[in-house]
Each structure stands twice: as C-alpha cells, then as structure tokens.
Amino acid sequence: MSDEIIYIDMGTVSMLMDALEDEYFEIIEIFISTSRERIAEMVSKSSASTEDLLDVVHVLKGSSGNVGAIHLSNVCNELESMLRSGSVDGIDSMIQDIEVSFDVTCKVFQEIINGKYNA
Amino acid sequence: MPDFHMADLKDCSQARILIVDDDLVTRLTLEKTLANSGYCVTSKSNGREGLLFSRDYKPELVLLDVMMPEIDGFEICRRIREFSSYNEIKIIMLTGLNDVSSVDMAFDAGANDFITKPINWTLLVKRVAHALREREMYFKLVEDEAKLKQSQKIARLSYWEYDPKNDSITVSGEFCKKILNNRTVVSKEEFYDLVKDEDRGEIKSAFSDVCLNGGKYHRDCRIMDCSGNELIYQHQGEAIEDVDGLLINIIGTLQDITNEHHAAALIEYQKYYDELTNLPNKQYLYEELDKYIISIKESELMAILFVGVDRFKLINTSFGYKTGDEILKLVASRLHNVISGHGIVSRFSGDTFSIVINKIQNIDQLEAMIDDVLSTTKSVFEVDHENHYLSSSIGVVVYPLENASSETLLSYAEDAMSQAKSTGGNHYVYHSPEMNAAAKKNQTLNNLLRQGLETDRFELFYQPQIELSTGKCIGSEALIRMYDENNNIISPVEFIPVAEETGLIVELGYWIIEAVCKQINLWESMGMHGLRTGINLSARQFKDKSLISHIDRYVSAYEIPIECIDLEITESIAMDNLDQTLSVLNGFKDLGYTISMDDFGTGYSSLSSLQKMPIDILKIDRAFIKDIRANGENGEIARAILAMGRALNMRTIAEGAESNEHIEFLEANQCDEVQGFYYSPPLKIDKFNEFYAKHNSDPAHNIKTSGYKL
C-alpha cells in the first residue's frame, strides 16, 4: 500500500474533533468494534444471500464515510455497486480488500487517538 | 415507546431534534454533534420507533436516514406528514451522494431538505439551524398574522385594493361578511353603490382624484349592512405608484366607526345640553349668544335673563334631590314654553336658568315676557301628589343698551339676579341702574294709571281752535294730563305707551269721552253753543267694537249735539286696515259725528283712499307748519295739503302755528282754522272758558295782537 492512498479524511476528523472533543474517541472505538463485527459478518455471509451482504456493506459504507474513513467507505461502495449490479465474481477478493482497508484505517485511527496526527 | 430522553425533552427550551438511523455510529455522532450545539436530541434506531415518537412528541426537526430495515426513511417521512404539516415538523433526509433519485423521492415524500452522505458535519449543523430558524419564522409569521387579524377584528378594520387593470376592488376582513354577503371582489361601481346617496359623491370624487393625481384621502361615509342597518365607516385610500409616477393600484382601509361615532355624538350632545332637563347648557348659550351679538339688527334689542328659583335649597333638603330634580325639569319645560320661539332657554347650573330673548321691539314687550316668566314659576308645581309653591328672581341685561362680551353680559345678569334674590325674590332687577330707574318709573306710572282713574289724577286740558276768517274759537282739542303724588304733571308721551301696553288705554279712553261729553253739556248750559271738541282715538280703541255704543251712551246721557264730538284718528291708524277704517268711520258719519284726520301728511294715505273716507277735517301736522318761514318759504307741502282739503271739501286745521309768519301764510293759503301756541297752549277748563269769552264776545277782536307768545 502506497502512502498516496488516503484512508482517513482529516477534514472530517478535525470537524468531528471540534464538535465532539473527547467524545470523538469514544465514537471511533465504537466504530472500530462495530465495524469489526460487521466485517466478520460479511466474511461469514460471503457465500450466503446477496441481500444480507448488501445490508451489511451499506451500513459499513455509511458509518465509515461519516467518521471520515473514506478509503474503507469507497471500497464498501464498490462492493455495494457490484452486488446491486448482480455481479458475484470477485466478492471474496473485495471482502479481503475491505478487511485490509479496515486494518489500515484502525491503525491510522489508533495513531490519531495516540496523538500522532494531533495538531 | 418513548424512552429515557423524554424528561430532557420536556424541560428543554431549545429545539427538540429526533434522529432516526439504524447505524449506531452515525446515530451517536449525530446525537453528540447536535447536543453539543445546544439542541435536545433523541435518537431512534428504527423507523417504527421514530414514527411513534414523532407522533407523540412532535419534535421540531427529524433527521431521517433513508435506507433502514423494516420501514425506510421515505415511508416514515410520508407517515409523519399525515399528522404534521410541512412547517410543524421539519424533516431533513440523509441520502447517499450517488443517489440523486432519492433526493427527488425525499421531497416527494414531504421532506424539507436533504443532506448527502458522507456527512459534512459543519454543513449539517448549519442546515439544521437554518431549518429550525425557518420554522420559527414561519410560526412567528403565523402568530403575527393571527394577532393582526384579531386586532383588525377588534378595530373593525378591513382592507381593500383597487386594481385599475380590471377596474375591480378586492376586499378582505369583516367588511366582506357584514356588507358584501361574503363576496370579496366587487366592481368599482358596486363599491360606490354601497355608500349612502348623500355621501357617495364625496367618496367618488375623492377616489377619482387619487386615481388621477395620486396621494391619499380620508372620508367618513354611511354604508348599509346586509341586515339594513346604517353603519358609519371611515374610508381611507392611498395611491401606490411606480417610479415613473404611474398608478399601480389604490389600497385602503374601511373601519367601522359606528360606535365611536355614536359615542362622539353623545359626547357632542353632552357638551351642549343638560342631561336632566334636556335644555341647552351654558356652553351652548355662550356660543349662541356670540352669534346673536354678531347678527343683531340696529333697531332690535336682546335681553339676557338670569332666572334663579328662590330658596330652592329648601326643596332639596326638605323633599330630597329626586323631588328637586323633578321640579327643575318642570321649571325648565315651563320656561321653554313661555319663551318658545322668542329665544333660548338654557340651564346654567343647579337651580339657575339663563334665557336669551332676541328681536325685542321695545322694553314694554320685554317686561311683559319677564312677567310671564315670573308668573309661570309662581304657578303650583305638583310632584308625587304634593304641591310645591315657588317663586323666582330674575336678573336682566339688555343689549346693546349694555354693551359687553357674552360672558360679561351673563355675569351682569347673574349679579342682577343675586340682587333680586337679596331684595326678597319674586321680582326682576335690571343690571343697569338707568334701566332699573326706567322700569321703576314704568311700574309707578302703571300704578298711577290704575289708581288715577279712581282718584282724580287725570284732568282734561283744552286747546282752542280759531277760525281764521272770524277770529273766533269754534272748537278745541281735549288733551289728557296726569298728576303724580306731588301734583306734578306727567306728559301723555310718558304714560300713554304704558296705558297702551297694559290695556288701561280702553278704560282711560272711556273716561275721556265721558268727561268731554260732560263738559260739552256744561258749555251748552253756559251758552257756549256748538263748541266742537276733538277726542283722540288710539289704535286699540279704534279696533274696539263696542266703541260706538259707548260714545252713543254718553252723548244721549248728557244730551249734547252729536256733531260737537270730533273723533280724531291719525293717518297711520286709518291706513292700517283701510276696509275696517271705512266701515267704522262710515258708522260714525251716519250717526252725525265729526271726523278729523290727525297728524295729516305724516302717513302714507293715497288721494284715492282719502277720497273714500268720510273725513270732515284735515289736521295738518305741525311738522309742515314749523318749516314755513317768512314769505311762505318751504310751505309747499302745507300749501298742497290745504289745496287738496279744499278740493275734497274738507275743513283744514293747521297744528303748531306759532308765529306771525305762520298765520300770514295760512291766511294767504285759505286755511280754515288754526290750533297752536300762537293763540294758546292747551288750557285748564277755567282758562279755556276765559279765552273763549274773550275771543267770542268781542267781534272786533284783533286776532293778530292777541296771540299768545311763548
């Protein structure tokens, strides 16, 4: 993964940090834990119905976008579009991409929480 | 069902926001962000709960996620709109950026706004604030409108707007309901026709003027309502013009001011009228008096009477204010009846009334009216079967004999009234001492006249009438004189008008006739045969139908030659009613009386009317004799009258001859007789008899040297 890939939209992060202050970190922790569960659900449902997978990926797209995890949100969006178009090839690979993106996102958020990105 | 957040919501003075999103992270982020901005926030994770909450607690704003399990955001939005208007609950939908069609669907479902995901948080807070402000402004507007409507209703105010393009008028407010039978648009003509005929012209011209020249107008007019009641509207209009001054429209108001108008009319009434007696009040009197003063004619008098009920306080203290008020009402109406048509009666204050009498010809007429006022307040007043006896005191001012402002005149009259009260009441007092003296004199004369007939205060004087051709006294004129208590002579000029006014003239007239008849009888017995004696008849006597029979009775009783009675009437009495004069005079003539026309030349008798009258003697008024100077200068009129008398076969007597020039002129112009100071003033009977004896016993008596010199 290149450094040019932007996982977190720092504009959104700073907006939220301004608005929420310390509560922002709580929300990020909740985001990480719920997203982890959702990704696990996706992995388990990858062979199940498209409908179920679609619901999960839509919510993950939404919540990641809203907290500023734009890379994860974009990958989710690609999968959602794929699922809506009815294509089934490459779903597993997309889910793996989501897992990878999530891991990196988690690390970046962790660094933000640790103060690395604090201004 | 509603959860733990409710306690917060109830107490929250800030706007309440409901978040409905199935994603915990988004929900929490929204919740915290908005709570930190000061809102009361509740969130629900599914559509069903969000809907219930919206219905039960009506939050000001709902943030609604589109994609949710069970019920999606559009459906929730539609259902909220079933119980809440577009402005009551503001709905902002959260949609995906790549999902343009859902934006349309959001608006179709009744959303107020949308926010795309991923959420731009700064923008979100601003969008929420904006939606809430819009909502607040809407309700403020609704409230203001309601307040305005209510105040218009209270003020009975309606609006109208004239559209010149289609010449119609749109009306709003209660005017539509009350006047237009719920119509809101009428033609200009219909609009005019609503106004009462008498007021229409003015409204029409004001409206047209504003149409043409701009500006505004303001008129009160009467308009009939749907039930036929007359209402009074204040009608205002103002032209609205564009930058070039061209008329865009005319807008205006119509305000029902009927009640205010009636109240104003009542206030106006109370300003000028007394509530108890309904008479005009002091204020009215002042204003009318000022008008009278301005418009009074030179020959007229005006009197201001101040009438106070004597000892009125006693009525109030003995019988109570209710009785007192009833009596004042009766006094008011009696005064009104007495004065009716001659002036104004007003209640000045308490038990005082002021009366203005205008167009008075003379003081006698005024005093007769004052006597009426005194006697009307003396008549018994019956209130609640109880009789009350009152009297009044009157103060009198006569304008312009006393010349002052209306206020001063009234205060003079009031002073005079107080004086009347303090001198016993039940009489009148003039403010002016001169008037009081005159009134007192009048009163004395009146008393003297009454007593005079019984106590020999009258005496007849006789002024000789000399025949120029013979120099003999062939007649006389009987002239009445009266004596006062001190035996001073009072001139008939003073007491005859009083006798005329009081009616005593008739009785006095009979006394004179009898006295003359008695005297002729005596003269006859003394050998002074055929002495003709003039008796002046007043206007009142002349109209008295029993006059002939009265004279006849004396003439027969004293057995005197009928032609010796010379009845003198003035030219002005004769000409007053020619038909009546002819009938009365012909009656006398037929019986054989001598008839003279007195003061001839001062009236306006025509030659033709004079010719019809059975006149024996023309007595030329002293004015024409007085003018004659040496050589007969200025004697043209006397000369003409003498010529006319001859032509009509009437004898002529010149009155007021005093000088040689007069006598020479009269002789030269063939005047028959002369009565005047040249020969003699009126004489007491003894002196007259002496005069007679002197002139009639000596045939060679030179008339020109026997003249009586002044």
Distance from CA of B144 to the nearest CA of A (A): 36
Name the pLDDT band for B572 (thresholds 50, 70, 90): confident
* Range in B25-39, B491-505, B649-663 with the lowest mean pLDDT: B491-505
CB atoms within 10 A of CB B599: 18
CA distance B247 to B165: 10
pLDDT in the model for residue B706: 43
The per-residue pLDDT for B709 is 36
Query: Using the beta-carbon criterion (under 8 Å), do B22 and A70 form an inter-chain contact?
Result: no
Query: Which tens digit of pLDDT belongs to each residue from B434-475?
Result: 777 777 777 777 778 877 777 778 899 999 999 999 999 999
**Residue A48 pLDDT:** 65
Q: In the predicted model, is pLDDT for residue B333 greater than 90?
A: yes
The closest of B235, B12, B237, B30 to B117, measured between CA atoms, is B30
Torsion, Cα B599 B600 B605 B607, to 10 degrees, reads: 170
Average pLDDT over residues B391-419: 88
Peptide bond into B118 cis (omega under 30): yes
Residue B427 · residue B373 · CB < 8 Å = no
Query: Which residue range forms the structural domain that includes residue A83?
Result: 10-113
Contact B24 A30 (CB under 8 A): yes
pLDDT band (50, 70, 90) for residue B517: very high
Q: Given 3-state DSSP classes, what are the helix, strand and coil percentages for chain A, each rounded to the nearest 5?
A: 75, 0, 25
Q: How far is B115 from chain A (nearest CA, A)?
A: 12
- Chain A residues close to B96, C-beta within 8 Å: 62
Which residues in A35-51 are b (16+ Cβ under 10 Å) and which e? beebbebbeebeeeeee
Mean pLDDT (whole number) for B169-184: 88
Q: Is residue A2 part of a domain?
A: no
* Among B23, B43, B45, the residue to mutate for chain A (most A Cβ within 10 A): B23
Chain A nearest CA to B91, separation (Å): 20
Q: Which of A20, A23, A73 sits opposite B118 (nearest CB)?
A: A73
Per CB-CB distance under 8 Å, the chain B contacts of A70 are 118
Q: Which residues of A touch B69 (CB under 8 A)?
A: 55
Angle between helices B282-295 and B406-422 (to 10 degrees): 120
Residue A119 lies in a domain: no
Q: Look-up: residue for tokens 């999968």?
A: A79
User: E strands within B667-709?
Assistant: 673-675
Interface A-B, measured as beta-carbon pairs within 8 A, has a size of 63
Q: Nearest chain B Cα to A28, which residue?
A: B25
In this predicted structure, the answer to whether residue B601 has a pLDDT above a threshold of 60 is yes
By a Cβ cutoff of 8 Å, what residues of chain A touch chain B? 9, 12, 15-16, 19-20, 23, 27, 30-31, 34-35, 55, 58-59, 62-63, 65-68, 70, 73, 77
Average pLDDT over residues B272-301: 87
What residues of A are in contact with residue B28 (Cβ under 8 Å)? 27, 30
- Check residue B698 and give its pLDDT: 59
Task: Please give the Cα distance from B121 to A11 (Å, whole number).
Answer: 10
pLDDT tens profile A1-59: 445 788 999 999 999 988 888 888 899 999 999 999 999 988 887 666 778 888 899 99
Task: Output Rg (C-alpha) for chain A, integer angstroms.
Answer: 15
Bridge partner list, B306: B354, B395
Q: What integer pLDDT is reported at residue B325 of this predicted model? A: 94
- Could you identify the residue written with the tokens 């982890």? A36
Q: Show the tokens assigned to B264.
A: 């104003």
| Chain A residues touching B26 at Cβ < 8 A | 62-63, 66
Give the tokens for residue B443.
């009163």
Burial class (CB in 10 A: 0-12, 13-18, 19+), B33: buried
The answer on pLDDT for B42 being more than 80 is: yes
Task: Give the model's confidence band at B331: pLDDT under 50 very low, under 70 low, under 90 confident, else very high.
Answer: very high
Q: Per the domain annotation, does A34 fall within a domain? A: yes
Q: Are B83 and B52 contacting, i.e. CB atoms less than 8 angstroms apart?
A: no
DSSP result, B102-165: HHHHHHHHT-SEEEEESP-HHHHHHHHHHHHHHHHHHHHHHHHHHHHHHHHHHTTEEEEEEETT
Could you tell me the two tokens for B294?
A: 């301005």
- Give the highest mean pLDDT range of A17-26, B142-151, B240-249, B552-561: B552-561
Report DSSP letters for B505-554, one per residue: HHHHHHHHHHHHHHHHHHHHHHT-TT-EEEEEPPHHHHH-TTHHHHHHHH
Q: What's the rounded Cα separation, in Å, for the pair A110 and B47?
A: 34
Is B11 in a helix, a strand, or coil? helix
B2 band by pLDDT with thresholds 50, 70 and 90: very low
Inter-chain touch A59–B120, beta carbons under 8 Å? no
Q: Among B462-471, B532-541, B543-552, whose mean pLDDT is lowest?
A: B543-552
Per-residue pLDDT averaged across B86-114, rounded? 87
**Cβ A30–B117 below 8 Å, yes or no?**
no
Element housing B599 (H / E): strand B594-600
Q: pTM of the full predicted structure?
A: 0.45
Q: Looking at the predicted structure, is the pLDDT value of residue B197 above 80? A: yes
Q: Is the pLDDT of residue B280 over 70?
A: yes
- A16 to chain B nearest CA, in Å? 7
- Compute the distance between CA of residue B421 and CA of residue B319 in angstroms, rounded to an integer: 22
Q: Decide if B25 and A27 are in contact by the 8 Å CB cutoff.
A: yes
For strands B617-620 and B651-655, give the pairing.
parallel
Q: What is the mean pLDDT of residues B9-19?
A: 73
- The pLDDT value recorded for residue B68 is 85
| 3 state SS of A84 | helix
Tokens, residue B631 = 């050589």
Question: A89 vs chain B: nearest CA distance in angstroms?
Answer: 23
Question: B464, B696 in Cβ contact below 8 A?
Answer: no
pLDDT digits (tens, 9 = 90+) for B351-388: 999 999 988 888 888 888 999 999 999 888 999 888 88
For testing contact with chain A, the best of B20, B21, B22, B26 (most A CBs within 10 A): B26
CB within 8 Å: B67 and A77: no
> Closest Cα partner for B233 from B255, B263, B262?
B255
Task: Tell me the per-residue pLDDT of B49-70, one tens digit each, with 9 for 90 and over.
Answer: 999 999 999 999 999 998 888 8
**pLDDT score at A8:** 92
Measured between CA atoms, how close is B245 to chain A, in angstroms?
55
Instruction: Please report residues of A whose CB lies closer than 8 A to that of B29.
Output: 16, 20, 27, 66-67
**Chain B interface, Cβ < 8 Å to A:** 22-26, 28-29, 32-33, 36-37, 65, 67, 69, 96, 98, 117-122, 125
Q: What rounded mean pLDDT belongs to chain B?
A: 87
Q: How many domains does chain A have?
A: 1
Domain membership of residue A118 (yes or no) is: no
> Which whole-number Å values give the CA distances from B638 to A46, B542, B635, B645, B670, in the listed order?
158, 27, 5, 10, 11
- State the DSSP H helix or E strand holding residue B570, giving kind and residue range, or none if neither: strand B565-570
Distance from CA of B56 to the nearest CA of A (A): 28
> Above 90 in pLDDT, residue B148?
no
Query: Residue B267: which pLDDT band, with cuts at 50, 70 and 90?
Result: confident
In a domain, A3, yes or no: no
Q: Which residue of B has its CA nearest to A30?
A: B25
Please give the Cα distance from B258 to B11 (Å, whole number): 49
- Given A31, A55, A77, which is nearest B25 (Cβ)? A31
The pLDDT of B663-686, averaged and rounded, is 94
User: What pLDDT is attached to residue A98?
Assistant: 94
Query: What is the CATH number for A41?
Result: 1.20.120.160
Q: Residue A85 pairs with which residues in a beta bridge?
A: none
List the single residue in B23, B36, B37 with the smallest CB-CB distance to A59.
B23
So what's the pLDDT on residue B576?
Answer: 81
Residue B11 has pLDDT above 70, yes or no: no
Answer whether residue A5 is part of any domain. Answer: no
DSSP assignment string, B457-513: -EEEEEEEEEETTT--EEEEEEEEEEE-TT--EE-HHHHHHHHHHHTHHHHHHHHHH
What is the C-alpha to C-alpha distance for residues B36 and B44, in angstroms, rounded to an integer? 18
Give the residue, B433 or B324, on which the prediction is more confident.
B324
Closest-CA distance, A2 to chain B, in angstroms, reads 24
Nearest to B29 among A27, A58, A70 (CB): A27
Position A19 in a domain = yes
**pLDDT over threshold 90, residue B516:** yes
Asked whether residue A1 is domain-assigned, the answer is: no
Determine the Cα–Cα distance for residues B223 and B524; give it in Å rounded to an integer. Answer: 91
B-chain CB neighbours of A9 within 8 Å are 118
Q: Could you tell me the pLDDT band of residue B337, with boundaries at 50, 70 and 90?
A: very high
